[in-house]
A = this chain, B = another copy of it.
Amino acid sequence: MSSTGMVSKLIFISAALIGLLSFYIYNIITIPPEVPQFDLNQWWGPYPIDLNRDLSIRPFTIEFTDVIINDLRERLLHRREFTPPLEDAGFTYGFNSNFLTQVLDYWQNKYNFKDREQFLNRYNHFKTNIQGLDIHFVHVKPQVSNHIHVIPLLMLHGWPGSFREFYEMIVKLARPHPSYNFVFELIIPSLPGFGYSEAPVRPGFGPAEMAVVIRNLMRRIGHERYYVHGGDAGHIVGSVMATLFQDEVLGFHTNMPVLMYHPLATAYTLLGSIWPSLIVEKELESRLYPLSQHFQRHLEESGYIHIQATKPDTIGAALTDSPTGLAAYILEKFSTWTNYEYKKAADGKLLMKYSLTHLLDNVMIYWATNSITTSMRLYSEACSKRNLALKLDQIPTNVPTWGIKFKHELIFQPDSLLRLKYKNYLHSTIVEDGGHFAALEMPDLLADDVFEAVDTFMEFHSGKNLKQETQVQPNYETAKTIYEFTVRNINGKDVKLDRYKGHVLVIVNVASQCGLTDTNYEQLNELYERYAISKGLRILAFPCNQFSGQEPGTHREIFNFAKKRNVKFDVFEKVDVNGDNAHPLWKFLKRTQSGTFGDFIKWNFSKFIIDKNGVPVERFGPNVNPIDLEPHLVKYW
């Protein structure tokens, strides 16, 4: 056959395929799949069903017994000589065996098993039998005064993670937050087949079946309506819960906001490689395109999915038997998934963001429970024809949803595509840092985001109008207090200032590139830390670019700048403070507290003190350091 004939036939066939494709897409657009029905009591334990089983919630304690520890140390001691890494290979061929030696030496000799056991037991653990499986969970119930609401939050870990990854966040989430009048009651299960939760004994236990078990766990604990946070596998299970139980899940917060199997989203993504602006904001384009580059990266990083989706038991046999193998297999992910570039380093820069102790806590949970094989089987079930045929990602949900997108997350999907499924996708927080293991890597930032998301979910449910166009400002000439004004926070969400009623406030205009920046940020932080809890001080910072253009960045850049400086106080959207376009709040501030050489704001870091009634009471110039406000603030506590 001639090559020309060949080419023309190829074109003909491709045209036919496009016709079919179009029809297929048309169907997808117009006919969303039906919500599948599940047996909510399906039995996953061994048969026969135990009809007299204990359905109570039993306290549970984590134990690293001497048997476990001695056996483990023995195996680490007698580990076999490694194959040396290739010259200068870093982590590019997988876990570098030179560095692995260091990790294992630490595990064997320095990791304090008893201390860590105690650390893991610092929160209350329980087990209860759901559908034939003993399900383990951490339960943190904060004790707070009556005027603070306690909101149930289910937190779902991923693979190769565990309940342990949320420990740094628990502190933040279960304690009153200066900006909100609620805290969280946390329910943190081990997913079935992970850690201390039992695994199903027969095939067919995919993300949907897991979602049913977790939902039943929440009912057993007494929660019929609750919020859900998840990442990685926790995102997938959480998303299914938000799909199947739309009346029970009050809001879904995810740090891996993606649709895994959504042909239309895939088609749009391909289309976007020609017209990116169709689906993704300009400043995020590089997180998705060029597609070839991201696809190449994904291909490099997804071997584990491929093997776990097809032969989990084979690789499981090796990882069950060898702590060396288990540590390498799990910890490799903590390098590359935190930052793709880390693989170039001989130590995978594992210690840049984590301590060996924390990393090994997580490995220990897999080791002590011998659960790596059953954890990996989830991939087989998730990729099974049966599960894919459910098309769960294509079923729309009305549950309000909020994503946080870290810079180095494995997959990025624009909001426009997420909205194909999440009909009330309220917001994406964009972070110019961080990777896949956000709970461990940036727990404070992630906890703040959960607070803000749940606050927004509650507004959503209370029917408050979220549309920003409706923002109505009072006349600054006649306003009496700052509480009448509305500003926008750094995420673009309206904040009525009456939320600060009863607090003494410092309002300040800030900039990132000013000679005063370092001192002011540092001392504002200090001031806040000293008086936020004890005296209810709040600091409201407004970025402003009107002084030599020293705050030129986008909101996201400013947000990230503030996060890098570990700013704890509230940073708002950039505003003008002088001129006709000055924000009404600032016009009001200047009217009520005029300046020494005129009302206008002279420079970055001008400061106003507002008393507990919302009235501006003092004004200070840029050269007054924040810490010097202390004696003045005293008057208003």
Are B1 and A10 closer than 8 Å at their CB atoms?
no
Contacts of A320 in B (CB 8 A): 80-83, 324
Interface status of A144 (Cβ within 8 A of chain B): no
Within 8 A of B (CB), among A251-309: 267, 270-271, 274, 278, 299-304, 306-309
Within A312-371, which residues are at the interface with B (CB < 8 Å)? Answer: 312-322, 324-326, 328-329, 332, 370
Q: Bound state CA distance, A300 and B313, in angstroms?
A: 14
Distance from A414 Cβ to chain B, minimum over Cβ atoms (Å): 14
- Give the docked Cα–Cα distance between A303 and B311 (Å): 8
A:67-91 near B, CB below 8 Å: 74, 78-89
For the complex, give the distance between the alpha carbons of A81 and B200 in Å: 17
Bound Cα distance A377, B86 (Å):
10
A157 to B79, CA, bound (A): 29
Our pick among B15, B83, B303, B377 for the contact of A370 (Cβ within 8 Å) is: B83
Determine whether the beta carbon of A22 is less than 8 Å from that of B11: yes
Give complex CA distance A299, B9 in Å.
28
Cβ < 8 Å to B, chain A residues 39-72 = none
Q: Is A426 an interface residue (CB 8 A)?
A: no
CB of A97 closer than 8 Å to a CB of B: yes
- Which residues on the B side are within 8 Å of A95 (C-beta)? 311, 313-314, 317
A581 at the interface (CB under 8 A from B): no
Q: CA of A202 to CA of B94 in the docked complex: distance in angstroms?
A: 14
Closest to A100 in B: B317
Contact A203 to B87, CB < 8 A, known contacts A95-B317, A320-B82: yes
Residues of B within 8 A of A271 (CB): 6, 9-10, 13
Q: Which of A18-32 contact B (CB under 8 A)?
A: 18, 21-22, 25-26, 29-30
Q: Name A93's contact: one of B7, B311, B321 (CB within 8 Å).
A: B311
Cβ–Cβ contact A328 & B332, under 8 A: no
State in angstroms the CA–CA spacing of A370 and B83 once bound together: 8
Residue contact A79 to B11, C-beta cutoff 8 Å:
no
Instruction: Determine if A374 is an interface residue (Cβ-Cβ < 8 Å).
Output: yes
The residue that A321 contacts in the complex, of B74, B79, B88, B202, with Cβ under 8 A, is B79
Closest Cβ neighbor of A331 among chain B residues: B314
Collect the chain B residues with CB atoms within 8 Å of residue A401's CB. none
Cβ distance A255 to chain B, nearest Cβ, rounded Å: 24
| A322-B318 in contact (CB<8A) | yes
Asked whether A86 and B202 contact (CB < 8 A) given A317-B97, A318-B325, A380-B93, the answer is yes
A181 located at the interface, meaning its Cβ lies under 8 Å from any Cβ of chain B in the complex: no
Q: Which residues of chain A (352-401) have a CB below 8 Å from chain B?
A: 370, 373-374, 377, 380
The answer, among B200, B314, B328, for a CB contact under 8 Å with A317, is B328
Taking CB atoms, residues of chain B closer than 8 Å to A380 are 93
CB of B82 within 8 A of CB of A317, answer yes
A312 in contact with B26 (CB, 8 Å): no
- A102 touches B (CB below 8 Å): no
B313–A324 contact, CB under 8 A? no
Asked whether, in the complex, the Cβ of A93 is within 8 Å of the Cβ of B13, the reply is no
Contact of A325 among B18, B82, B322 (CB under 8 A): B322
Determine whether the beta carbon of B314 is less than 8 Å from that of A94.
yes
A93-B312, A95-B317, A315-B315 are known contacts. Are A10 and B21 too (CB-CB below 8 A)? yes
Shortest beta-carbon contacts, A-B, top 8: A318-B325, A94-B314, A94-B313, A94-B311, A303-B307, A83-B373, A317-B328, A321-B322
Q: List 30 A-B contacts (CB under 8 A).
A: A6-B25, A6-B29, A7-B26, A10-B21, A10-B267, A10-B271, A13-B270, A15-B18, A83-B313, A84-B201, A86-B200, A87-B201, A87-B202, A93-B312, A93-B377, A94-B310, A94-B314, A94-B315, A95-B311, A303-B307, A303-B310, A303-B311, A304-B307, A314-B329, A314-B332, A315-B315, A315-B325, A317-B325, A318-B318, A325-B325
